[in-house]
Amino acid sequence: MAFDSLVSVIAISLAFLPFFFLHSVADTTNATAPVSASTVCNSTLYPGFCKKVLQADNQTANVYEYGRFSVKKSLSAANKFLHLVNKYLSKRRKLTAAAVRALEDCQLLAQLNIDFLSTSFQTVNTTSKVLSSSQAEDIQTLLSGILTNQQTCLDGLKSVESAWTVKNGLAIPLANDTKLYSVSLAIVTKGWVPKNKKGSSPKSRHGRKLSGIRNGQLQLKMSEKTRRIFETVSRRNLIDDSSDSGDNGVMVSGIVTVSQDGSGDYTLINDAIAAAPNNSNGTDGYFLIYVAAGVYPEYVSIAKNKKYLLMIGDGINQTIITGNRSYVDGWTTFSSATFAVVGTGFVAVNITIRNTAGAIKHQAVALRNGADWSTFYFCSFEGYQDTLYAYSLRQFYRECDIYGTIDFIFGNAAVIFQNCNLYPRLPLQYQFNAITAQGRTDPGQTTGTSILNCTIKAADDLASSNGTTQTYLGRPWKQYSRTVYIESYMGSLINPAGWTEWNGTFALDTLYYGEFNNTGPGSNTTGRVTWPGYHIMNATDAANYTVSNFLLGDDWLPQTGVQYFDNLV
């Protein structure tokens, strides 16, 4: 991971807000009334740049017109950048393998940005009024993801020491486009996002929402033929659809099976993914891929057109997907993942994902997740540095086991880990452990890491080492890093300071780190850091980071069948 950030520091007072959204001009001005570009730009992160972009014709406009203009200009910029990346890749024979991999990352990310901006423009181009909460959440999520993609492309290029020509040729458009995307996020937030977003679903009784079946079992609703196939290959009987009052089960539209002994439809997971329908909207249910017990040495990739896949294995340490790519061996952190998913609505149950490169190989990702509305239930993730890359968009993990050393949960998604087990491992000599490294680069991004009702204990190798390894809750990878621990158990391995620096005083006054009502010997906050951005939260603060409020999860999690609670415990 890179040590720097594209963005500059804004006023410290803004950084302290746990949910800082750039406020709507409608707070003080009618959003449909003409205003100057200066009025619109003064509350963006880059007011000078914003004014240059918006004052091309020296005329006033309303917030919606400025917003549409900035998003449309952003879309044009994304297309130009992709063209530039493709131009470099057309001469790949002159580049190192590492440079080509970094450019291929940028190519994929630029394509995603075009998709995200196209969707965003369709939204803002059809209305000049405040959106519903769910629509507003969608567009903020996409525009936040675009900024994450930009930073990842830049970090990858900077890690390629020999590709000076590439970096110099792409650094300026990357920086300018990032500013433009930040401006678009800020203005869209001003015009279209309600001041207080709330999910469309009502709160469930006692603040809890329970779906599906416990202990890694889901209630699946499928055709009789599909049911017979599943029960035959998985050797498990499904609960009758009508047996759980109020829950109609998880809809399944089709099924393929994977087994290494040849008894299934496929022997490779990627072949099963290829057989899934493209661009499903999920209304007919999930396409189920059942992966029988076994060790699968595959680099699994679920592309953006493979939506609403449900992958079920035979259990943690039974169905195992494994790889060993690493930064030391020439892969970018982004491309080192054993399992990478982009397709919307992905759900995984009862699977172990590993990267076995080892601590000596530094960055080596097991899971990279950039799938919106994605869910992992009863899964385990094993690695050392950078195990679980919660990359972008909206994600939920329930009752999962996560093993690692340095920054082993990192990324810039809006993500909640609920009822999970976090196991710091024994790192290399003279290294320390940091559980999280959250990567928020812009105060308008709706991203952050919420660790809720989890358990933090030393993995067996660390517990038996009798060493002096220091373990911290997290450190600020990027300028506006945001992480909270809520109602979780912290073992004695946690350093009394709780958190550690990334590089000197970097981001200590612009981050947001919070703790609320945690238990265990490592939860004592009397010796915690005294950074301006660190907070001992109250219940009101903590409620901002729950499934209901942070992810608007009541709008999409019930479809997955995964058990969860929507508010505080």
CA distance 73 to 53: 9
Give buried/exposed letters for 20-47 (b at 16+ CB in 10 A, else e): bbbebbbeebebeeebebeebbebbbbb
Give buried/exposed letters for 176-187 (b at 16+ CB in 10 A, else e): ebbbbbbbbbbb
The residues, ordered by sequence, that sit 6+ positions from 419 with a Cβ below 8 Å of its Cβ are 398, 399, 452, 453, 454
Is 206 in a helix, a strand, or coil? Answer: helix
Angle at 207 between CA 204 and CA 211, to 5 degrees: 55
Is the CA virtual torsion 165, 168, 173, 175 positive or negative?
A: positive
Is the CA virtual torsion 306, 310, 314, 318 positive or negative?
A: positive
Is 236 in a helix, a strand, or coil? Answer: coil
Q: What share of the chain is helix, strand, coil (3-state, %, to 5)?
A: 35, 20, 45
The residues, ordered by sequence, that sit 6+ positions from 44 with a Cβ below 8 Å of its Cβ are 22, 50, 182, 183, 186, 187
CA distance 34 to 30: 9
Residues 557 and 564 sit within 8 Å (Cβ to Cβ): yes
Q: Is 407 a catalytic residue?
A: yes
CA distance 460 to 470: 16
Selected catalytic residue, list 105, 155, 407, 442: 407
Residues catalogued as catalytic: 407
